Amino acid sequence: MIERYSTPQMRELWGLNHKFEVWREIEIAGVAYWKNQGRVPEEDFQQIRNKASFTVERINQIENEVHHDVIAFLTNMAENIGPASRHVHFGFTSSDVGDTALAYIIREVALVIKDRMEDLLESLYARAQETRENIVVGRTHGIHAEPTTLGLKLLGYYTETQRNYERLLLAIEDISYGKISGAVGTYSQLPPELEKFVLDQLGLKVEPVSTQVIPRDRHAFFLSVLSLIAQGLSRLAQEIRLLQKTESREVEEPFQKGQKGSSAMPHKRNPILSERICGLARVIQGYSQTASMNIGLWHERDISHSSAERIILPDATSLLEYMLIKMKFIVDKMHIYPLNSEKVINETGGLLYSSRALLVITEEMKIPREDAYAIVQGHAMDIWEKPSGGNLRSRLEGDPRLQQISQEKWDYVFDPRSFLLEITRIFERVEPFVKRTSNASA
């Protein structure tokens, strides 16, 4: 994690101090179980609960000697607890503490990401509604296709984000499993009842069949969902970048007072936030690949996953939260230029109405669709190839083969607002899902 792309809250949740605090709670909960069974005196339990303190500095100092972080942690606590520390970690193995705490912390940071997604969903839907009638060119292969609206574009990103939100909820559920089942998951030194007792206090579920570790398919699934969310943000950011190109400038990400775009060119207003989001999405995708490779550990465990997870889990979650915050800012504050969109619509002389013209000619002239296609395409190719080729409407209206088609029909064909009716119906279709997301958020 680097400060540039992480928030103080996320750095605190992934910090060593917080990790050791969770470890301590797990260890104290384990002692509490043994106390309830009559194996730990009340006096010793109170001594442990009151004096189980640590410092990150001392743990690091010990770890430099013993090269084992859990042993260093336990040694430091024992220094502060005294003789009653013999009850701490009784029957446990290191992964009982480490893996259970990791699941707890992942859930904590995932809930932060969930809140950020809810914020973005609210912004996306608000801007989609605001721009639902802002007509823009739809493009396929980068070429003008048919009219759409900026609102419908944003509604599509809204529904994708909503799907990813639901996937995140599944991933949170799937990662919320701990294990305190001993060295190879056989409960040889402690009973399953202890495991359930401790995990209940943490709000975690019992891993049905663990080895010495929680199976890493859970972590891989979680990272794959984070990657999907990141790729969705990247897709939206890329669209903003494309719409911000000088040739069209239909949309522009926020450019703040005092901001400078280039050290050499004072005129520049670059989509740097959108580009940053696209770049960070690539990093998270790589982390997802690493998480998948962590699934295949040797036998009951090895620690080849551990070093990778110390990087990929804090980084991926921190980066994604940062991306969600930045995307919300972009969506909320982005500049929209309807006049530029209108100019772009008119740039190709009405070619983007060719499919509607094709159907009207077929229907009104009672001719085969292939013949109507040939008529429209013939005029369209002339417009593409000749700058002075006119516009599609004037050419079709002037075509002697089409004289019986009424002015009213041509008005319908070439009216961009005639596309709005069906777009409105799409918004109405999405509305029930919007309410469900709102209920889930509450």
Q: Is the pLDDT of residue 439 over 60?
A: no
Quick one: 223 and 323 in the same domain?
A: yes
User: For the residues 425-437, what does the mean pLDDT come to?
Assistant: 82
| Domain-embedded: residue 423 | no
d(C-alpha 113, C-alpha 322), whole Å = 9
Confidence of residue 435 (pLDDT cuts 50, 70, 90): low
Quick one: 243 and 281 in the same domain?
A: yes
Quick one: 33 and 147 in the same domain?
A: no
pLDDT at position 414: 95
Quick one: 246 and 107 in the same domain?
A: yes
Quick one: 5 and 138 in the same domain?
A: no
Q: Is the pLDDT of residue 271 over 50?
A: yes
d(C-alpha 117, C-alpha 111), whole Å = 10
Spell out where 93-185 has E strands: 135-140, 143-149, 177-178
Average pLDDT, the chain: 94
Q: What is the pLDDT of residues 333-361, one digit of tens each?
A: 999 999 999 999 999 999 999 999 999 99
Q: Which residues are tagged catalytic?
A: 141, 262
Confidence of residue 373 (pLDDT cuts 50, 70, 90): very high
Quick one: 323 and 373 in the same domain?
A: no
Q: What is the CA radius of gyration of the chain?
A: 30
User: For the residues 167-179, what does the mean pLDDT come to?
Assistant: 98
Quick one: 223 and 335 in the same domain?
A: yes
Partner residues linked to 148 by β-bridges: 136
The answer to whether the CB of 162 falls within 8 A of the CB of 433 is yes
Q: What is the pLDDT of residues 18-74, one digit of tens each?
A: 999 999 999 999 999 999 999 999 999 999 999 999 999 999 999 999 999 999 999
pLDDT at position 387: 65
Number of domains in the chain: 3
Q: What is the pLDDT of residues 181-191, one digit of tens each?
A: 999 999 999 99
Q: Is the pLDDT of residue 401 over 60?
A: yes
| Domain-embedded: residue 283 | yes
User: For the residues 252-266, what does the mean pLDDT come to?
Assistant: 83
Range of the domain at 3: 1-90
Quick one: 83 and 121 in the same domain?
A: no
Q: Which run of H or E residues covers position 267?
A: none
Between 248 and 389, name the one with better pLDDT. 248
The per-residue DSSP string of 212-246 comes to SS--THHHHHHHHHHHHHHHHHHHHHHHHHHHTST
CB atoms within 10 A of CB 62: 19
Q: Is the pLDDT of residue 441 over 90?
A: no
d(C-alpha 127, C-alpha 134), whole Å = 11
d(C-alpha 259, C-alpha 326), whole Å = 16
